[in-house]
Structure 1
Amino acid sequence: MKKVLLVTASLIALGAAAPAVAADLAARPYTKAPPMVAAVYDWSGFYIGANGGWGTSRSCWDFLPVAGGVANDGCHDADGGTIGGQVGYRWQAGTWVFGVEAQGNWADFKGSNVAIFDPRFRNESRVDAFGLFTGQVGYAANNVLFYVKGGAAVTSNEYRSFAVATNALAGVTGDDTRWGGVVGVGIEYGFAPNWSFGVEYNHLFMQDRTYTFTNPAGGFFANERISQDVDLVTARLNYKFGGPAIARY
């Protein structure tokens, strides 16, 4: 009888403890996970890069007779390849990006036409280098940057005249440096931390200049007034220094 009572008491005790154990094992309250943090590409900082592409220089010549007046001598395009580099700095304010940049390129733009005023001669122009010094204003859609630019441009040129019959040099100006303005537009894509790739178009407005050509012996050959515009299409690869390429908010 005593054993039965002891067993019964033990079962009652276990039954009383069960609710407390169940309470201890109850699921913890649900805690909401923190929101995802969005990553935004940061365009701020110094950068350096390389570029290459194609260009064309449109030149129109006017012969200026010693006796006075102006005679149309024709136009031609000087086409060719270009390669160079750029360095600049950008700072970002929200989705707006502002920057300054200096660019220098070697070029091989060359073309000619038979002179209209005197078809015995062929006029040739060549651009062997150019530089751009510009400011930029852009809009950033995360890691894609759209921008416009404008500023000063300089070209290194050479102008020559040849005899059509013999292809002998008849007149030359030597190397000449011209200053003008430039406007452009571009798009750039940040494809990796600190690295970006872009495509850019620029139009150079160069001033008209009057040149005195000399013959190979150093004597006077002719006076020509030459206009010049340049169009450039280049692909660009940039590396940005300092700071993370990805900003978080």
Structure 2
Amino acid sequence: MKKLPLAIAILAMSASSALSADLAARPYTKAPPMIAAIYDWSGFYIGINGGGGSAHTCWDLVFPGGSIPQGCHNSTGGTVGGQVGYRWQSANWVFGLEGQGNWADFSGSNITPVGGNPFGGGSIRTRIDAFGLITGQVGYAWNNVLAYVKGGAAVVSDKYDVFFAGAVADTGKETRWGGTVGAGLEFGFAPNWSVGVEYDHIFLNSKDTTLAAVPAGAASTIHVRQDVDMGLVRLNYRFGGPLIAKY
């Protein structure tokens, strides 16, 4: 009878040793690595923009055999519009194409010089009421932050007026084509949404334009030189998946 407790004790010790050996032999398993979410700028997007700008414009009155400088002025004001485009991302590089159209109210004037000048003693005014940009983009992304440069074609709608004693004497309107360069910084603040700031410069070729007479004046031809600088705040919505999971 005394052998039974001894046998039970031996079995218990054997089970304990086997369990300890089992625990010691269990391999260590590392925690799974964290997943880093990478922002993806690829896809079609549409957005709105708004800001301000200034157009520097110089006039010359043109006549057979010469011209008379009429001075320069800055046409300043606000603008609002929209843009649509497509971007594709390769590693950290981002490439894109974009079309933009804006309404504008950039207006400015100057007094014309006197002395042998048909416009002398009056004032000339230039107003930009719309513009469009068609550009390509190249950018570099740090996850959800994108810096880019852009360049392409620009088109501007200009209106010209000559005033004497507060009345319009000559007027004209034209569409002018030129080029544009710019740079921007954009931040993805939510899936598919981004906000950014952008600077654009528009340079337009010098061009002769005919002004039509109104009852107070006579028809005339002017030579116009113009460029435009503006700053915009932009909000975009992108169609497509915003994130890529990367281990």
Please report the TM-score for the alignment, with normalisation by the length of structure 1: 0.91
Gap change, CA 1:23 and 1:63, over 3 Å in 2: same
Assess if the C-alpha contact under 8 Å between 1:198 and 1:235 holds in 2: yes
Q: CA deviation at 1:25?
A: 5.2
Paired position in structure 2 for 1:182 = 180
> Cα deviations across residues 176-214 of structure 1 (Å, max 9, x unaligned)?
111111011111111111111111011101111212222
Deviations 1:48-84 (A, max 9, x none): 000000011111001113x421211100000000000
Q: Which has the larger radius of gyration?
A: 1
**Residue matched to 2:112:** 115
Shift of residue 16, structure 1, vs aligned partner? 3.8
2:129 alignment partner in structure 1: 128
Where in structure 2 are the equivalents of 1:59-208 lying within 5 Å?
A: 59-65=57-63, 67-116=64-113, 117=117, 118-163=119-164, 166-173=165-172, 175-208=173-206
Q: Could you tell me which residue of structure 1 aligns to residue 210 of structure 2?
A: 212
Residues 212, 220 of structure 1: 8 Å contact kept? no
Q: Deviations over 1:82-122 (max 9, x none)?
A: 00000000011111111000000000000000112443210
Q: 1:195 to 1:17 in 2, by over 3 A?
A: closer
SS in 2 for 1:11: helix
Structure 2 distance, partners of 1:79, 1:110, is: 5
Q: Matched residue pairs, number? A: 242
Once the two structures are superposed, residues 213-237 of structure 1 have per-residue CA deviations (whole angstroms, 9 ceiling, x without a partner) of 2221497332211111011100000
CA distance in 2, matches of 1:124, 1:212: 15
Q: Percent identity?
A: 55
State how far apart, in whole Å, the 2-side matches of 1:5 and 1:149 are: 94
> Following the alignment from structure 2 to structure 1, what is the Cα–Cα distance between the partners of residues 120 and 216?
23
Distance of 1:168 and 1:193 partners within structure 2: 55
